[in-house]
């Protein structure tokens, strides 16, 4: 049975066909978050620390850390800041240090800059997940040696030098190519987590069906775990959380084993907890029962993050998180 092991200094998370669905929290990402990017430019990590804690309290077992910030003010006075290869490596180091100071879950190091990936690998405790490699030749040659050197699992995104194909068979072939090239470096298939690329259902009516079929093929033919950017499915449509909440259990039923997503949204987490229960990945329904108590508190006026934090602290004394520094 395929098992992808991700570790922090103190915790182990297993992504696998017989494991609960792995929620990888997406919020530590300045891309498209101008306020967060501005805070990071000012060396203010308070939102990062808050997002890390909230996501873990709400059910993320792994946190994605993305260093793709644009420092507009610094760029105006120093042209080096226009180069992500200059900006991202030290920022990745700082982000990981701040996140590891407040939570003890494993991390997913996320950047398009190889130098930032390696800085993250040097800084992260345990065995993080690397995000990501693609089927592009240059990317394969840059990232796979890092995966081998540091003995970590990697997200493999199913696009190559021709771009993202709308044909699911082509995306499967790209995933197979990455798995084969990884094997040439001595990287086993169980350390490859394939992202088959979720297309927006508003732009492609068969997007959901494509992903479900791809996930089944990836599991049955390549024996790999899978992930996705879950919110991509609903891009451009109203009531996105409702669509996401329908998509996730269907993807889980098809064999998807993880997703990079926002765990602070209760409707999606409720859907995942229900899917885990129905897949017999929630022993005695313990997680479902705990969630039900959180949702009762939400009905009484608490936010999902507040209710989740209170529940965790009441039952296990800050399980999954350390107290934020004052």
pLDDT at 151 over 70: yes
- Is 3.20.20.20 the CATH number for 3-281? yes
Residue 201, both tokens: 């259902």
Residues 6+ apart with CB under 8 A from 120: 65, 67, 92, 93, 96, 107, 109, 111, 128, 130
> What gap in Å lies between CA 272 and CA 19, rounded to an integer?
13
Both ends of the chain: CA-CA distance in Å? 44
Domain ranges of the chain: 3-281
Q: What percent of the chain has pLDDT over 90?
A: 95
Largest CA distance in the chain: 59
236-245: average pLDDT: 98
Quote the mean pLDDT of the chain: 95
pLDDT of 309 higher than 70: yes
Is the pTM above the cut of 0.85?
yes
User: 């098992």: which residue's tokens?
Assistant: 3
Q: What is the pLDDT of residues 136-146, one digit of tens each?
A: 999 999 999 99
pLDDT in tens, 15-28: 999 999 999 999 99
Give 244-261 pLDDT, tens digit per residue.
Answer: 999 999 999 999 999 999
Residue 1's pLDDT is what?
A: 75
CB of 94 within 8 A of CB of 50?
no
């Amino acid at each position: 049975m395929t098992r992808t092991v991700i570790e922090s200094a103190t915790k182990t998370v297993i992504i696998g066909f017989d494991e609960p669905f792995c929620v990888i929290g997406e919020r530590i990402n300045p891309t498209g978050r101008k306020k967060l990017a501005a805070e990071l430019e000012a060396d203010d990590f308070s939102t990062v620390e808050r997002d890390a804690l909230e996501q873990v309290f709400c059910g993320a077992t792994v946190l994605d850390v993305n260093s793709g910030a644009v420092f507009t003010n610094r760029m105006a006075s120093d042209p080096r800041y226009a180069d992500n290869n200059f900006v991202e490596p030290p920022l990745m180091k700082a982000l990981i240090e701040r996140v590891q100071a407040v939570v003890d879950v494993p991390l997913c190091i996320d950047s398009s800059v190889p130098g930032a990936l390696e800085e993250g690998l040097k800084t992260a405790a345990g065995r993080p997940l690397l995000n990501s490699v693609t089927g592009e030749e240059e990317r394969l040659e840059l990232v796979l040696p890092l995966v081998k050197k540091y003995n970590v699992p990697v997200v493999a995104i199913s696009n190559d030098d021709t771009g993202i194909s709308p044909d699911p068979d082509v995306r499967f072939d790209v995933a197979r190519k990455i798995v084969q090239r990884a094997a040439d470096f001595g990287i086993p298939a169980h350390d490859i987590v394939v992202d088959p690329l979720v297309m927006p259902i508003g732009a492609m009516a068969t997007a959901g069906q494509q992903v479900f079929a791809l996930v089944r093929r990836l599991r049955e033919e390549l024996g790999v775990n899978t992930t996705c950017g879950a919110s991509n499915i609903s891009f451009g449509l109203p009531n996105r959380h409702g669509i996401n909440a329908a998509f996730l259990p269907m993807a889980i039923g098809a064999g998807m084993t993880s997703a990079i997503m926002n765990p602070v949204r209760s409707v999606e987490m409720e859907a995942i907890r229900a899917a885990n229960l129905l897949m017999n990945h929630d022993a005695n329904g313990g997680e479902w029962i705990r969630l039900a108590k959180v949702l009762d508190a939400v009905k009484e006026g608490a936010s999902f993050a507040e209710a989740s934090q209170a529940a965790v602290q009441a039952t296990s004394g800050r399980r999954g998180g350390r107290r934020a520094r004052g």
